[in-house]
Every structure is written in structure tokens, then in C-alpha cells.
Amino acid sequence: MRWTLLAGLLTVACDSDDSSVDTCDPSSDLDADGLDDCAEEALGTSPENADSDGDGVDDGDEVACVSSPLDADEVCYECGWPHRDEIVSDRQGSEIGDTLRNVTMPDQCGERVDLHDLAGAYRILFMTTQWCASCVEEARELRTRSRQFERETSIPFSYVITVFQDTMGAPPTRDVAADYADHVDARRVVPVLADVDQDLLVDTPYDGNALPGKCVLSPQMEMLDCYTGHGDDAEAFAMIEAHASNAGTP
């Protein structure tokens, strides 16, 4: 932001008349980071420094993966998840209608992911244990189910699998996310998170007693419904379509 201010002051200082206010050239990409000079001006990034925040990832790549090119603490997730935490409201709680608290959990790429970065799309949390064999069977369908719903409705959606116990019934280590993702073929389509501190058993109405637990989340991370058991989640998908329709989303 400091750069934007400085650039603005320099522009004003150098202006001899109003006609020279807009000096950027949309056909020029001086630092070859994939963003033209005018896009950089609008973003507040430097048109002469490909990595404005110095975090090792070029500005254009950060914009493409939905990561801030002006925040050195935020870089692209290896698994490709966006950083959508800016969409989440402050009204947090653990009941239906509340906004889910932000918790950080390791994913299948071995990185810690802020749950709120997964805002911006509808989600169904699929909360399970590693030892639940019938849950594995259903979890294997979730990648296809996610893609099918998105294709049919054009509503941004995916399941998010969270694992709160390992094969022995103990809290999972961070490696469990990668193991489980491989086992159920989630690839990088369905986020798989190891709930190492069992945060979601506290932060949602789900108590972990019946498997799997499921919570439907709005793009703002509001809990629209929570329930348990296997199934095709047809009612949850109908709820998402109705919610999206009311919210004016296609």
C-alpha cells in the first residue's frame, strides 16, 4: 500500500497538466510477471519488480492462484486452494446459522491450510475417522459428486474431508491427510485436512459419535445444516441450490 501512495504522489508531482494523469501502458509488462503495467497500478504492485512482496512467488502467479501479491506471509498453496478468507463474516459460533471459526489444519500436500481460505464456494464438510471403512467407500465418491454438482448447477462447490481420528482411534498426525487423500483418490480436487486438535468437534454441532458427520457451509462459511450418516446428500444439494438462488448466485 505504501508503494501505491508513493506512486500516486510521484504522478501528481510530475503532472504538468491533467492529460498526463493516466501514464500506464496496458501493452507493457516491464517486469515480465504476467501482469501489464496498468493492472499492476490498479493492484498496487510494482511494475518493475516481478515479486512485489518478496515472498518468492511472482505477482502474476499470486493473482492466478488467488494469493495476495502484497502480503509476504501469503503464497500459493501447493495443492492449489485459493486464499478466500476475505469473504468470511465476523459472526462466529458453533451452532447452525453461525459462521464457522477459522481453524488451521494440515492438508494432503503437507501444508497447513486456513479453513477460511476455502470460503467463496459452497462446501460440505465430510467429518470422519481413518478407521471407518464404510466412510472410505463414500469418501471415494466425493470427487465425482463434487464435479458433477458443479457441472450441473454452475454453483462453485466441493466437499472438504476432515479426519479426526487415525486407524487406532487416536488424534491424527499431519501425515494422515496425505494418506487418506491417496486412499480415497481425492487428488487435489477435494481438500483433505487432518483435524489434529479435533477442533471441528467443538466448533460444529457434530459430536463425533456417528459417522460420518456432515455440515453444509455457505461461501461465507455459515453452517446451513449439520447431520450424520451415509447417503447421496441430495437434501443438502437441494438446500445449496435454494440458498444460492436466494443469494442471487447462478
Q: Interface with Ca ion by CB under 5 A: which residues?
A: 29, 31, 33, 35, 51, 53, 55, 57, 71, 74
Q: Measured between alpha carbons, how far apart are the two ends of the chain, in Å?
A: 34
Contacts by 102-105, CB closer than 8 A, 24 or more apart: 103/195, 103/197, 103/199, 103/200, 103/203, 105/162, 105/177, 105/193, 105/194, 105/195, 105/196, 105/199
Cell (9 digits) for 99: 459462521
